[in-house]
Each structure stands twice: as C-alpha cells, then as structure tokens.
C-alpha cells in the first residue's frame, strides 16, 4: 500500500469531502495563504477558493460560534483551532452552544460541524501550545471526540467526522503531521465510536490513542522480547467510548494499562479505569495502571519536558511492574 | 470609517401605513403583553418552573424589527426572548407548552423559557448565555452569503450584553466580511440588576458601531413606528450587500431582571413613571386614535382576539402532557 503523511491524509479527506459536498467549508487562522502551520491545508485554497477555505481574524470565539451558526443555516463547517490550547478562548461556543443545541432544542436542528484541534507536544512549545485536552470534552454530552494515531485513521476519521450530523471534535497530534503510514487509495471511512485491537496479546491490555498509541506499540515490542504479550487497543474515539472492545480485551488478558500524553489526573484513563472497575472488575488479576503526564503545566526546558513526557520506556516500565 | 450614529426620528405622519401593518403591530404587541402577563402570573403561582424573564415594556422593538423580516430571515434571541419569538411568528401554544415543560413544546420540554427555538419560522434559538448569540447569527449570515441567499440574520442583545467580548469578535467578523447581520441592542437600561451606565463606557451603545466601520442608528425603542422605519432602512441596505449595521433601541425594562426579582436596586415609583408615560402599547393606541388611522373598536377587537389566543395557549400548556422520563436520552445524538 502507498504511504503518505498524516498531514496529506487529512488533506485528502478534506479534498474528497469538499469536492463531494459544496456545503463543506473550512475556516481558521492562517489556513488559506499559509496552508496551515503544519501544511494540513496546503493546496485547498487554490482548488476551492478563499470563500471555502477562509482565513479568519484571530478570533476563536467567532470562528467556532460562526461555524455553529453556519451549521444551523445549512452548511457543514469545519473550524480549525490552530492549536488545541486555544479552545479555552471559545469554550462557551463549544460546550454551551455547539454541544447542546440539538438536544436543548428538542432535536429541531443538528449541528453538523467539525472542530479540528492540533494538540500535543512538539518542539518544546511549552505550557500554552502543547496540551492534550481531550478529556475535557468527554465530560460534555452532545459532543463526539475522535483522536487518530496514524495517517489511515486520520483520513478515515476526518471523513466520518465531516459526514456526521453531530458536532465532532477532531484532535490531531502535531507530532504526527509529518509521520508516514499506509493509506488505502480507494475511499473508506473509519467508524466513530469504534476502538481497534491493533496487536493481539494475551498478558495485558494496553489502551492508548493519538501519538501515545505509537509509544504503546513500541513498548509492546520491547515487552514482547521479554516474554510479555501485550494487546494494544487504539481507542480512536474518546466519546462515545467503545466500552465493549475494552472490556472484551480485558476479559481476555486480565490486566489493564491505559497510557496517554495528557495529565493523568482526571484523564481519559480515569474514565476507562472506572468503566472497567464497574463493569469488569472480575476480569482483573491486577490493579489497573494508568500512565499519564505529571500534574503540572507542560514545562519548556528540555530536561523538564523529558521528565514530563510519556515515553515508550515509561509505559514499558509500568507494565513490567505488573508482573 | 462610518460617521457618529444618527438618531432616527419617528415618522411625522402614520397615515401612509396600510391597515394590515397597523393591525399587525397592535396584534403582535398585544399578544406579547398578554403572553408575558400570563407567564408572570403562572410563575408566581408556582405553575411554571425554572427561570423566566419577561419583555413587558419592550414590545415595540421586537415588533417593529420583525415586521421587516420574513420567516426565512434568521434571528438569535436572548434569555428575554418570548417577545421576539412571538413577533417572528412562532405558535404561542407551543411556546407556552415549552415554558411549562411539556412535551408539546417546541423543544419537547427539554429547553424551557431560555431555550426556545422554532426553526420553522427562522427563530434559531434563545440563549441562556448573555452575549451568546452574536457569533451564531454572524455564522448564519455567512452561510446565507455563501449560498447566495438574500435573507439576513438579526441578533438581539441588551445593554449589558454589549460589554461581552463576543460582541467585538462577531461585529468585527461581520463587518470585515460584509455579512448580512443586523445587531439590535435593546437598551433597557438594566444589565441584570445593575444600571448599565455604571458599568458601560458609553451612553449610546450605537457609538460602538463606528469602531467596526458599520452604521449605527439610535431610535426610541418604545415607538413602534420609529423602530420599524429605522430597521427598514438598515435592513434594505443589509439585503443589498452593504454589510452589517447596529441599531440601538432605547427602552426600559418594566419587570425585574427575572420574574420574582425583589428589585432592591430601583424604586417602584421610577418604574411606574416610565410605564405611565412611556408604555409602547399605550403610545401606539394614543397615536393611531389621534391620527384617526384606527378606531377604538378596531383596537378592542384586535386586543380581545390576542387575549383569547394567549388564554388558549395557557390552557393548552396547562393540559398538555409532560415528557416521559424515557425521553431523557432522545435527541442527544442523531
């Protein structure tokens, strides 16, 4: 299969969906003239025009709010957040407007929009340009939250998100944009709400997602050589969460580790731990282990950032301690 | 750069208005008044749950503006949105049912007073967040422009909400992109319980239009004719593609911030003085009779019909069934 970058994969998804449906458009800061800071919009303005690939004022509040309003008026907008860290600026538009309108108004109108949010650690970008905030949004009913780990799912999930009639937040890790991976040439969709067992194993279930899922695979490889068989589950969707796949895997392996780049406290791992404690405690032969970032803002200096970062080694170490 | 805002005067004569429009003004204002009086009464009797905010004394603004719109134009309204919703043409029965928390309501009892919407008449939602509607209206206007439609979006807000940052962000975007949005400030003098002038940098909210390069107009919000004319001119220009405008309607909130508000921040005398001297409905009656464009009998007939429609809406809402608890999860996702 051909290999393309994560960034190219998202571009293809945008291109295909904008070609198919003229109500799909995208707006955000620095996306048209510059092509997006990670090249993820390169070439789209030339093909679709500056009306459908819009450079906006620096105004996250109006970007998201206007996308909600446009969705109510019959469009299928995509908002680009530039950096996921900026979601705080437009939080009301996300959780009080975008997420609630369909339910609060008794299902009169859907809000078919996608919020693209580049997140995660890259280039020592420090406290306000590096965060992983996905767990905030699994606490909000009405939102769907997806978070691909590789180019194929990046394309498949973005296409699914654009076609979904619910508002979808699409987190894309900044360090993944330049990574290559196999992506089918024919059209396909990655289903929202379905996790994927990527490597089967028998000793421990390792649930992760986004860039960190790649660290999980590396950790599993190391441990495999040491005789520990790790089943790696790529969550892909944070909300609605695929309980069944997680519980089935834990039923098989009897051990559960969740790893994510976000801070451990109140993270996605906490929710998964609670689900398994409530619904699958009898499967477990060992306490659940969570691997996440320490409870600090993302620090700047290299040694500090390295101390903060979840790595394949840290995941492997945590798993070794379970045996 | 646009000039300082202009104050639009009332038309010197109202003889030019056709009967249908005059009847419409009086019918809508009367329905709003009866609707809100019934809401007050039922809320204080403990029959209506939640929070309700009534529009008494401000009927002329919503009525004058909405009389320039079609059902295909969009509006975004506020927590004080019953009047706008009636003026936009929503069925008072389903509105009342929603406010009573009944399944027959516009939102199946999931919204309540602060979250009414009726998409079938272009009423895209009340908003419990003060200043929450600006960016949404801007986006709906953007969609209309992109789709080549001539319809516009109108967002209502108060003097208090004019201090939200969302106003700035939406006004800038709408003006930068020449979007068909009318920003309507209903300056009712009170930001919740605070006199707006103690927390607002300008006397006239319309002054702020200049900063966005859009026209600003001030009008007596308790004069339905003046509001209608001011909105008409601005809306015609917006429909032509000239970009957004800001209309400030000077009015006064007769009720408290919410029904049940003890109103420790003002005197009953102050409120009564405004209501006696400046009630938009009384002013309408006085003027149409003085200029002999409507008769007392015509007014009485419209008023009595409006009262009947609202009383039927109350009966309908009182008798309508509540939602079934099993509906809790409905409409969460599509």
Does A167 have pLDDT greater than 80? yes
Residues A95 and A129 in one domain: yes
A260 is catalytic: no
Instruction: For residue A26, give both structure tokens.
Output: 């995208």
Model ipTM value = 0.97
A168 forms beta bridges with: A114, A144
Q: What is the CATH number of the domain that holds A298?
A: 3.40.50.920
What are the residues of chain B with a beta carbon less than 8 Å away from any beta carbon of chain A? 74, 76, 105-111, 115, 117-119, 124-125, 127-129, 132, 134-144, 146-147, 153, 165-166, 169-170, 172-173, 176, 330-334
Q: Name the minimum distance, in Å, from the CA of A108 to any CA of chain B.
A: 7
Is residue A154 domain-shared with residue A50, that is, in the same domain?
yes
A12: in domain = yes
Taking Cα atoms as reference points, which of A121, A115, A123 lies closest to residue A140? A115
**pLDDT of residue B1 exceeding 60:** no
Distances (CA, A) of A263 to A143, A260, B96: 21, 8, 47
Distance CA B81, CA B90 (A): 12
Conformational region of residue B123, where left means phi above 0, alpha means psi within -120 to 50, and beta covers everything else: beta
- Closest partner residue to B165 (CB to CB) among A51, A61, A66 is A61
Which whole number is the average pLDDT over B174-178? 98
Tell me the chain A residues in contact with residue B146 when contact means C-beta distances shorter than 8 Å.
25, 51-52, 70, 75
Of B110, B143, B332, the CB nearest to A70: B143
Nearest to A128 by CA among A82, A161, A162: A82
Final residue of a domain: which of A182, A214, A230? A182
At B3 the pLDDT is 77
Domain range summary for chain B, segments of one domain joined by +: 6-315
Q: What is the mean predicted confidence (pLDDT) over B139-156?
A: 98
Residue A168: pLDDT over 60: yes
Q: Range of A178's domain?
A: 3-182
Where helices occur in A21-121 by DSSP H, the ranges are 44-48, 60-72, 91, 101-104
Integer Cα distance of B125 and B105 in angstroms: 14
- Cα torsion A223, A225, A231, A236 to 10°: value is 70
Question: For residue A141, what is the nearest residue in chain B, using CA coordinates?
Answer: B332
Residues of A with CB under 8 A from a CB of B: 25, 51-52, 56-57, 59, 61-62, 64-75, 77, 92-93, 96-97, 101-110, 141-142, 144, 164-166, 240
Helix (H, G, I), strand (E, B) or coil at A171: strand
Beta strand pairing status for A204-208 and A230-234?
parallel
- When divided into structural domains, chain A yields a total of 2
Residues of B in contact with A59 (CB under 8 A): 169, 172-173
Mean pLDDT to the nearest integer, B55-63: 98
Same domain, yes or no: A40 and A154: yes
- Whether A302 maps to a domain, the answer reads yes
DSSP string, B176-212: HTT--EEEEEEE-SEETTEEGGGT-S-S-GGGGGGGG
Minimal C-alpha gap between A94 and chain B (Å): 11
Assigned CATH class of B6-315: alpha beta
- Does A8 share its domain with A137? yes
Three-class SS state of A25: strand
- Domain boundary (A158, A182, A206) is at A182
b/e map of B161-185 (b: 16 or more CB within 10 Å)?
bbbbebbbbbbbbbbbbbbbbbbbb
**Which chain A residues are closer than 8 Å to B101 by Cβ?**
none
Note the maximum CA span of chain B: 58
Q: Band the pLDDT of B2: cuts 50, 70, 90.
A: low
Q: Is the separation of the CB atoms in B31 and B86 below 8 Å?
A: yes
Whether the CB-CB separation of B326 and B106 falls below 8 Å is answered with no
Length of chain B: 334
Q: Is B179 left (phi over 0), alpha (psi -120 to 50) or beta?
A: beta
If you average pLDDT over residues A139-160, what whole number do you get? 98
Q: Name the band, by pLDDT with cuts 50, 70 and 90, for residue B26.
A: very high
Q: Report the pLDDT value the prediction gives residue A55, as an integer from 0 to 100.
A: 97
In a domain, A189, yes or no: no
Mean pLDDT of all residues belonging to chain B: 97
Interface residue of B139, B142, B148, B157 to substitute, partner A, most A CBs within 10 Å = B139
pLDDT confidence tier of residue B116, bands split at 50, 70 and 90: very high
The answer to whether residue A57 scores a pLDDT higher than 70 is: yes
CB contact under 8 A, A105 and B110: yes
Pairing of strands A196-199, A230-234: antiparallel
Contact at CB, A72 and B138, closer than 8 angstroms: no
Assess whether A99 and A152 both reside in one domain. yes
Show the tokens assigned to A282: 């009898």
**pLDDT tens across A235-294, in order?**
999 999 999 999 999 999 999 999 999 999 999 999 999 999 999 999 999 999 999 999
Spacing of C-alpha B86 from chain mean position: 9
- Contact between chains at A66 and B333 (C-beta distance less than 8 A): no
First vs last C-alpha separation in chain A: 38
pLDDT above 70: percentage of residues in chain B:
99
Q: If you count them, how many residues does chain A have?
A: 323
Asked if A64 lies within 8 A of B135 by C-beta distance, the reply is yes
Q: Does any domain span residue A190?
A: no
- Same domain for A95 and A241? no
Mark whether A170 and A279 lie in a shared domain.
no
Rounded distance between C-alpha atoms, residue A20 and residue A176, angstroms: 27
- Min Cα distance A103 → chain B (Å) is 5
Under 8 Å CB pairs connecting chains A and B tally to 143
What are B181-238's pLDDT values in tens digits? Answer: 999 999 999 999 999 999 999 999 999 999 999 999 999 999 999 999 999 999 999 9
Cβ separation B119–A108 shorter than 8 A:
yes
Domain stop point among A182, A212, A235: A182
Q: Residue A27 pLDDT more than 60?
A: yes
Taking the C-alpha atoms of residue A67 and residue B139, their distance in angstroms, rounded to an integer, is 6
Q: pLDDT tens digit string along B283-310?
A: 999 999 999 999 999 999 999 999 999 9
| For B74, nearest residue in chain A (alpha carbons) | A73
In the sheet that holds B181-187, the strands lie side by side as B6-8, B216-220, B245-250, B181-187, B153-158, B74-76
Task: Kindly name the residue from A129, A173, A215, A260 that is annotated as catalytic.
Answer: A129
Instruction: Give me the DSSP letters along B76-133.
Output: E--TT-HHHHHHTT--HHHHHHHHTT-TTSTTTTSS-GGG--BGGGTB----SSTT-S
Question: Are A107 and B115 a contacting pair at CB < 8 A?
Answer: no
Say whether B139 and A141 touch across the interface (CB within 8 A): no
The model's confidence at residue B46, banded by pLDDT at 50, 70 and 90, is: very high
Residue A101 lies in a domain: yes
Q: Which residues of B touch A67 (CB under 8 A)?
A: 139
Best residue in A69, A75, A77, A142 for a mutation probing chain B (most B CBs within 10 Å): A69
Which is nearest to A27 in space by CA: A72, A75, A73, A74?
A75
Q: How far apart are CA A68 and CA A62, in angstroms?
A: 10
Contact between chains at A61 and B135 (C-beta distance less than 8 A): yes
Residues A25 and A164 in one domain: yes
Same domain assignment for residues A149 and A206:
no
CATH number of the domain residue A105 falls in: 3.40.50.970
**Parallel, antiparallel or unpaired: strands B216-220 and B245-250:** parallel
Provide the percentage of residues in chain A whose pLDDT is more than 70: 100
- DSSP, res A92: I
Please give the mean pLDDT across all residues of chain A: 98
A281 and A157 in one domain? no
Q: Are residues A237 and A264 in the same domain?
A: yes
A202, A176: one domain: no
Q: Please give the distance of CA B318 from its chain centroid, rounded to a whole number.
A: 25
């Amino acid at each position: 299969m051909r290999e393309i970058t994560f960034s190219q994969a998202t571009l293809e998804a945008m291109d295909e969906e904008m070609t198919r449906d003229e109500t799909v458009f995208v707006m955000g800061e620095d996306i048209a003239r510059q092509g997006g800071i990670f090249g993820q919009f390169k070439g789209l303005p030339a093909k679709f025009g500056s009306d459908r690939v819009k450079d906006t004022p620096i105004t996250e509040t109006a970007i998201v709010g206007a996308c909600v309003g446009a969705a109510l008026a019959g469009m299928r907008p995509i908002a680009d957040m530039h950096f996921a860290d900026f979601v705080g600026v437009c939080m009301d538009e996300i959780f009080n407007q975008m997420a609630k309108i369909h339910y609060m108004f008794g299902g009169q109108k859907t809000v078919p929009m996608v919020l693209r949010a580049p997140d995660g650690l890259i280039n020592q970008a420090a406290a306000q340009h590096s965060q992983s905030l996905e767990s905030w949004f699994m606490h909000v009913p009405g939102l769907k939250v997806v978070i691909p780990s590789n180019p194929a799912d990046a394309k498949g999930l973005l296409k699914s998100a654009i076609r979904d009639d619910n508002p979808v937040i699409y987190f894309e890790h900044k360090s993944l944009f330049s990574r290559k991976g196999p992506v089918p040439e024919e059209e396909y969709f990655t289903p929202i709400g379905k996790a994927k067992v990527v490597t089967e194993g028998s000793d421990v279930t390792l649930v992760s997602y986004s860039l960190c899922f790649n660290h999980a695979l590396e950790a599993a490889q190391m441990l495999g050589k040491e005789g520990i068989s790790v089943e790696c589950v790529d969550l892909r969707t944070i909300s609605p969460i695929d309980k069944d796949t997680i519980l089935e895997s834990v039923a098989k392996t009897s051990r559960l580790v969740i790893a994510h780049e976000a801070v451990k406290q109140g993270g996605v791992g906490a929710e998964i731990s609670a689900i398994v404690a409530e619904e699958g405690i009898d499967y477990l032969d060992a306490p659940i282990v969570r691997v996440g970032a320490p409870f600090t803002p993302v620090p700047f200096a290299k040694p500090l950032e390295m101390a903060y970062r979840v790595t394949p080694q840290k995941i492997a170490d945590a798993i070794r301690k379970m045996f | 750069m646009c000039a300082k805002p202009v104050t639009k005067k009332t038309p010197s004569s109202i003889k030019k208005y056709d009967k249908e429009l005059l009847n419409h003004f009086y019918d809508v204002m009367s329905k709003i008044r009866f609707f809100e009086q019934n809401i007050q009464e039922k809320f204080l009797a403990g029959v209506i749950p939640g929070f309700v905010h009534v529009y008494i004394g401000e009927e002329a603004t919503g009525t004058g503006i909405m009389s320039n719109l079609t059902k295909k134009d969009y509006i975004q309204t506020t927590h004080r949105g019953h009047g706008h919703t009636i003026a936009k043409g929503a069925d008072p029965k389903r509105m009342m049912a929603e406010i009573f928390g009944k399944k027959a309501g516009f939102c199946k009892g999931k919204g309540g007073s602060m979250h009414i919407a009726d998409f079938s008449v272009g009423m895209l939602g009340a908003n419990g967040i003060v200043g929450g509607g600006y960016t949404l209206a801007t986006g709906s206007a953007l969609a209309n422009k992109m789709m080549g439609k001539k319809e516009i979006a109108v967002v209502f807000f108060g003097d208090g909400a004019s201090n939200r940052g969302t106003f700035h962000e939406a006004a800038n975007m709408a003006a930068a992109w020449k979007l068909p949005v009318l920003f309507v400030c209903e300056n009712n003098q009170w930001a919740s319980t605070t006199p707006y002038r103690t927390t607002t940098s300008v006397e006239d909210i319309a002054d702020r239009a200049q900063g966005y390069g859009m026209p600003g107009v001030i009008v007596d919000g308790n004069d339905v004719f003046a509001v209608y004319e001011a909105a008409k001119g601005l809306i015609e220009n917006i429909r032509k593609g000239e970009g957004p405008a800001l209309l400030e309607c000077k009015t006064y909130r007769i009720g408290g911030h919410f029904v049940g508000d003890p109103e420790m921040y003002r005197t009953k005398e102050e409120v009564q003085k405004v209501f006696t001297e400046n009630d938009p409905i009384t002013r309408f009656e006085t003027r149409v009779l003085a200029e002999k464009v409507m008769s007392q009998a015509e007014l009485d007939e419209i008023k009595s019909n409006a009262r009947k429609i609202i009383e039927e809406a109350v009966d309908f809402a009182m008798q309508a069934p509540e939602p079934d608890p099993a509906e809790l999860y409905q409409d969460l996702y599509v």
